[in-house]
Chain A
Amino acid sequence: MTTRRQFLLLAGGAAVSAAVQAELPPEIAAQRHAALQEAVRKVTGGAPVRTGRVKLDIPALIDNGNSVALSVEVDSPMTEAEHVKAIHVFTEKNPQPYIINAHLGPRAGRGRITTRARIADSGSVLALAQLSDGSFWSDSVSVVVTLSACSEDGLT
């Protein structure tokens, strides 16, 4: 006889496998991953990107991919000599990798931006900061999306 506990475990497992199937087909996922790499290279011009100094704040579990609040904070004194020039945010699984390119300067006072994004599918979200000395720093967060943006199109 199936106890209620066993039933719930089974039902939970079924829900998880359904979520896995909702992911992008591997070849499209690979294409989009390549598009992300290309977009990052366009910004950096091939310069090395180090992790650190950037903090991307985005919920790891996203109920609704149509509107996801995110903020990026870069550790910088924001002086004339040393400041954040730009903050770029990318996502791995959307049809296009770009979310926002923000241009700041020493007059910003603080290297921080906030916006709301659409995230199509579970994957990584990448924040990239360009500093005035020409260096690039990044932070990425792996997010799980339960209701995709563009879900009515079936993720294509």
Chain B
Amino acid sequence: MARVVVNVPKQARRGEILEIRTLAGHNMETGFRRKAGGELIPRDIITRFSCRYNGVEVFSAELHPAIAANPLIAFSTIATESGTLEFLWTGDNGYRATVAAQITVA
């Protein structure tokens, strides 16, 4: 149910800097908003994002309520070898989303 998208080039030359863009569908409820009756809406956010390149973590981030809904995270990594980039989002209330992208490095 968790919808996530990543934008990773399918092919790259060794040593090339890859621009990676990721989006996760999540409303990132801040925990500071109130319902009409005045009670606080509990926080429900993604708290951590990571990217593993053939099993090695190359990027990670801690997210906070100040990240906009449907968090966009863009970063870069060097194309070292062919293989898999695994992306993982985890958060409140057991939220967990993963996606993997294959890359061929020539």
Contacts and interface: CB of A to CB of B under 8 A. Distances in A.
Interface size class of B (residues with CB under 8 A): 20 to 34
B34 interface: yes
Nearest to B65: A96
A96 B66 CA distance: 8
A98 B64 contact: yes
A99 B67 contact: yes
A117 B60 CA distance: 17
B67 A107 contact: no
Interface string A101-136: 111110111101111111100000000000000000
A118 B30 contact: yes
Given A108-B75, A112-B75, A98 B59 contact: no
B73 A118 contact: no
B80 interface: yes
B68 A150 contact: no
Contacts of B73: 102, 113-115
Interface residues of A, number: 33
Contacts of B56: 107
A108 B59 contact: yes
B69 interface: yes
A114 B78 contact: no
Given A110-B17, A112-B76, A113-B73, A101 B68 contact: no
B71 interface: yes
A118 B73 CA distance: 14
A104 B75 contact: yes
A119 B53 CA distance: 32
Given A102-B61, A107-B53, 16 more contacts: A69-B72, A94-B66, A98-B62, A99-B67, A100-B62, A100-B64, A103-B61, A104-B59, A105-B59, A108-B58, A108-B75, A109-B18, A109-B76, A112-B75, A115-B74, A116-B67
Interface of A: 66-69, 71, 91, 94-96, 98-105, 107-110, 112-119, 149-150, 152-153
